[in-house]
Amino acid sequence: MATFDEIYEKIKEYPTIILHRHTSPDPDAIGSQAGLARSLRLAFPDKKILCAGENDEGDLIWINKMDEVKPEDYKGALVITTDTANTPRISNKNYDKGDLLIKIDHHPDVDPYADMSYVDPDAPAASEIIFDFLKAENLPITKEVAAALYAGIVGDTGRFMYPETSAHTFDVAAELTKTGINITDIAREIADVTFDEAKLQALAMDKMEIDPVGAAYTILMQDDLKKMGLTDDQANVAVSTPGRIKDVLAWNVFVEKPDGTFRVHYRSKGPVINHLAEQHDGGGHALASGANAKDMDEVKQVFNEVVEVTKKYKEEHGTNK
C-alpha cells in the first residue's frame, strides 16, 4: 500500500488530475471527491483538476457538481478514484485512460485495480481518509473543503451511529467544524426527503416481508417509481427503511432497473453481509453493501442467503441479539 507521501509526490508531478468516484453516489462518494479536488485546486492553481462522473449526483448536487471532462483530458493525466471498491462501480469509464491510477478507499480491497492505492477498511468514510491525507501533507482545509468532507463523514457513519465510527472520527468532525461550516444545514440536507420520496419509504414498508429469523426484504419496481415520478437513484431513500423495525437484523431492498434487472442493497445491524454481495457482482462494507440480480430467481436466492447468515448470527449470539 502506498503512503500519503508517495501519493502526494505523484500529485505534484502531474499537470492534470482527474478525480472519479462511484456510480449512484452517496454523500461520501461526492464529498471525498469534491473535498480532495477543492483542496488541490487551492494548493496548485496552475494544475487542471477535474471531478468526473456521469452527472448522476441527483439530490446530492448541493455537495458538488461534476465538471465537463473530455476524453483528451486523460492524456498524460493522473487519475484518482475515491470511495470506489471495484472497477464496475467507477463512474465514467474513462478512468483507465490516464497515465497513472491511484485508489483511495475504505472498502475491503477485493479489487486492487490501481497502480497505487491507499485502502483503510477500518475508516468509516473515504472522506475521513481524505482529511487525514490533507492534514498529513499540509494541504488547505478551507470551509468549502470541510463542508464536502463533513457531508461525506455524516453520510457514511449514519450521523455517527455506525460501529466504524471512532474517537478519531469525532476529532476529524471537530476540526472540520472549526472552519465555520454549518453542520445543521448539512445534516438537514442529508436527512430531508421530498413528499414523493416519503411516500416511497411508506410503500417500501408496506411491501416489506419479514422472515421469522429477523431478515427482511422489499422490492421496488419500475412501475412504483414511475407512478411517483422518481428516478432509480432516488429509490436509495428507502434503503434504510426496513432497519427501523426493531426485530429486523438484516435486510435487502431490491430496486428494479429499466432493463428489468435489479440493484440489490444489503444492510445489517450485526450479521456480516459483504461476502454475500461479492457473490452477486457487488461488495462493500461488512454491514452495508450493494450488488446486482439479473432476475426474480436471483432476487430470491439473494434473500435466502441473507436469511441463512441472519439465522447463524442469532444462533451464535443468542435470540435476544
pLDDT at 52: 97
DSSP 1: -
Instruction: Say if residue 42's pLDDT is above 90.
Output: yes
Of 125, 160, 191, the residue at which a domain comes to its end is 191
pLDDT at 273: 95
- Put residue 120 in one of left, alpha, beta given phi > 0 → left and psi -120 to 50 → alpha: beta
Q: Is the same domain home to 257 and 205?
A: yes
DSSP 193-232: --HHHHHHHHHHHHT-EE-TTSEEEEEE-HHHHHHHT--T
Q: Is the same domain home to 120 and 252?
A: no
Instruction: Say if residue 321's pLDDT is above 60.
Output: no
Q: Mean pLDDT across the stretch 167-176?
A: 98
Rounded distance between C-alpha atoms, residue 6 and residue 114, angstroms:
14
Residue 38 belongs to a domain with what CATH number?
3.90.1640.10
Instruction: Say if residue 178's pLDDT is above 70.
Output: yes
pLDDT at 286: 86
pLDDT at 320: 53
* Model pLDDT for residues 107-151, shown as the tens digit of each residue: 989 899 999 999 999 999 999 999 999 999 999 999 999 999 999
Instruction: Say if residue 319's pLDDT is above 70.
Output: no
Selection from 181, 190, 185, 183 nearest residue 142 by Cα: 181
Instruction: Say if residue 318's pLDDT is above 80.
Output: no
Domain extent for 294: 198-317
* Model pLDDT for residues 272-302, shown as the tens digit of each residue: 999 999 999 888 888 988 899 999 999 999 9
Q: Is the same domain home to 202 and 185?
A: no
Strand duo 48-51 + 288-293: pairing: unpaired
* Model pLDDT for residues 27-40, shown as the tens digit of each residue: 999 999 999 999 99
Residue 260 belongs to a domain with what CATH number?
3.10.310.30
Instruction: Say if residue 217's pLDDT is above 90.
Output: yes
All cell numbers assigned to 263: 440493484
3-state secondary structure of 289: strand
Of 140, 163, 191, the residue at which a domain comes to its end is 191
Of 144, 164, 191, the residue at which a domain comes to its end is 191
Instruction: Say if residue 59's pLDDT is above 90.
Output: no
Q: Is the same domain home to 49 and 173?
A: yes
**243-254 as b/e: b if 16+ CB within 10 A:** beeeebbbbbbb
C-alpha radius of gyration, the chain, whole number: 20
**DSSP H stretches of helix in the chain:** 4-13, 27-43, 126-136, 143-156, 167-177, 183-191, 195-206, 222-228, 274-278, 296-317
Computed over every residue of the chain, the mean pLDDT equals: 95
Q: Is the same domain home to 127 and 214?
A: no
Q: Is the same domain home to 66 and 159?
A: yes
Strand partners, 100: 78
Number of folded domains in the chain? Answer: 2
All cell numbers assigned to 241: 427503511
Selection from 320, 282, 280 nearest residue 300 by Cα: 280
